[in-house]
Homo-oligomer: A and B are copies of this chain.
């Protein structure tokens, strides 16, 4: 069951690198829970959660956490709650956990759904996302080169969501369906508009990355019901999965509209 919870933390001073420290905190909690799992996840290219500082002021830090692996959520939250009374270390500053906001009423970026509900999301022929934190796609090129694409290219947005769905959902598309979708996303998806598109350069982990924020609409021309059902699922899933790279460092936070 995909969740999005917002942790309301209280500290004495504002943080210089909230995304980096939050990443550190979560790996510390994971180590406490299961040292082997933490070590394995740390080096894994795809992590079963997203994590993003989403603001706050006057000593309050809001940290959004979406576990994508059902087995991870309850134990990790329990570990968090157990660790909270001693103070949660963000960098070297202890923070207190004031509230866990878990519903859209408590915070518009919180909420939960079931994988079954995502699978049955209504079909759509448009993706309409608001990218709330800098979003980037990292692609490997021949010769071991890595290139960043900080632009809302439809095939990259849809391809990333499909990657994440395949990796985390208990209802992945079978290889034939997946290949057909990838081809459609390449050929039949078009940018229908964008609004307030901004370029950023942000630190995520050890390096700096370019990224975009803003509102983006993508049109899928295909009239295939299978394709539109897939788009409906990915659209709803994006709220939990985020889009693109470095989603455990606050990047790629997207809200379907």
**Interface SS of chain A: helix, strand, loop or mixed?**
strand
In the complex, what residues of B have CB within 8 A of residue A147's CB? Answer: 187, 190
**A145 & B199 in contact (Cβ 8 Å cutoff):** no
In the complex, what residues of B have CB within 8 A of residue A198's CB? Answer: 197
Q: In the complex, which of the residues B141, B148, B199, B210 contacts A195, with contact meaning CB atoms closer than 8 Å? A: B199
**B148 & A151 in contact (Cβ 8 Å cutoff):** no
In the complex, what residues of B have CB within 8 A of residue A197's CB? Answer: 194, 197-199
Question: Which residue among A151, A187, A193, A198 has the maximum number of chain B CB atoms within 10 Å of its CB?
Answer: A151
A190's nearest neighbour on chain B, judged by CB, is B147
Q: 0/1 per residue, A93-108, Cβ < 8 Å to B?
A: 0000000000000000
CB neighbors of B among A170-209 (8 A)? 186-188, 190-195, 197-199, 201
Interface: A150 (CB within 8 A) = yes
In the complex, what residues of B have CB within 8 A of residue A141's CB? Answer: 186-187
Q: 0/1 per residue, A140-161, Cβ < 8 Å to B?
A: 0111010111111100000000
A152 to B151, CA, bound (A): 8
Known: A153-B153, A195-B199. A190 touches B142 (CB 8 A): no
**B210 & A148 in contact (Cβ 8 Å cutoff):** no
**B190 & A148 in contact (Cβ 8 Å cutoff):** yes
In the complex, what residues of B have CB within 8 A of residue A201's CB? Answer: 193
In the complex, what residues of B have CB within 8 A of residue A186's CB? Answer: 141
**A151 & B150 in contact (Cβ 8 Å cutoff):** no
Could you jot down 24 A-B contacts, CB within 8 Å? A141-B186, A141-B187, A142-B187, A143-B187, A145-B187, A145-B188, A148-B190, A148-B191, A149-B191, A150-B191, A151-B151, A151-B153, A151-B191, A153-B153, A191-B199, A191-B210, A192-B210, A193-B199, A193-B201, A193-B210, A194-B197, A194-B199, A197-B197, A197-B199
